[in-house]
Amino acid sequence: MSSLRIAFIIGSTRPDRVGPTIADWAVDHATRRGDAAYELVDLAHVGLPLLDEPEPAAAHHYRQDHTRRWSRLIDGYDGFVFVAPEYNRGVSAALKNAIDYLYAEWNDKAAGLICYGSSGGLRAGEQLKSTLGEVQIATVRAQVSLSIYDDMTDFVQLTPRDYQLGNLDAMLDQLVRWAAAMRALRGGLVRP
């Protein structure tokens, strides 16, 4: 059986964002674990406009080339780590938009969260869990919540507190177990 493929999805697209720094820190640590193939997916480079498909994603009748590319990319992963900023007490519009483009490609997979913001991104994390549940992604309990006050210097330089690596490992431990179980489940399903 091939290695599990886990995508770290950077959920911010704005200039001078801290998301790539957080994702690089997490992927660097995760890769050293050797328990899965970890890759970065940066929404700023994916090129998705505001949702422009005429039919709901559950119909799986994609007309746009960018949607078909996004579909193939996401379908190839067993699990995800969403690196999610909190904007105005919620998830970023770019991340919500990217999730809304697809349906079946997300189904029966697992996800972990790395949230960040003034409150550690907790409100965005709760909103994101609700959205992910609707597209049938199982989110693991452990998560990383980074405070822009306590885990960053000048709000942009990542300086995570010592225990954050333990939080990251706990989340990844759960994610790898769940992603493996969900991959076995998907093995018995007929996909569109």
Span 59-83, pLDDT tens digits: 999 999 999 999 999 999 999 999 9
Determine, yes or no, domain membership for 133. yes
Residue 157: pLDDT over 70? yes
Contact (CB, 8 A) for 108 and 189: yes
2-41 tens-digit pLDDT = 799 999 999 999 999 999 999 999 999 999 999 999 999 9
Determine, yes or no, domain membership for 137. yes
Determine, yes or no, domain membership for 192. no
Residue 191: pLDDT over 60? no
**Sign of dihedral through CA atoms 149, 96, 38, 20?**
negative
Nearest to 111 by CA among 91, 89, 133: 133
Determine, yes or no, domain membership for 78. yes
DSSP β-ladder status, 90-91 and 79-87: antiparallel
Owning domain of residue 143: 5-187
pLDDT-derived band at 192 (thresholds 50, 70, 90) equals very low
Determine, yes or no, domain membership for 180. yes
Percent of the chain exceeding pLDDT 70 equals: 97
Determine, yes or no, domain membership for 48. yes
Provide the CATH number for the domain around residue 34. Answer: 3.40.50.360
> Could you tell me where the beta strands, DSSP code E, fall in the chain?
5-10, 37-42, 79-87, 90-91, 109-117, 137-147, 152-153, 157-158
* Mean pLDDT, residues 122-144: 98
- Mean predicted lDDT score pLDDT of the chain: 95
Query: CA-to-CA distance for 137 and 45, rounded, in angstroms?
Result: 23
Q: Which residue has the tokens 């998705």?
A: 48
pLDDT at 70: 98
Contact (CB, 8 A) for 8 and 81: yes
pLDDT-derived band at 47 (thresholds 50, 70, 90) equals very high
Determine, yes or no, domain membership for 31. yes
pLDDT at 189: 60
pLDDT at 179: 98
Q: Indicate the number of domains in the chain.
A: 1
Q: Distance of CA 75 to CAs 122, 123, 141, 170, Å?
A: 27, 28, 23, 25
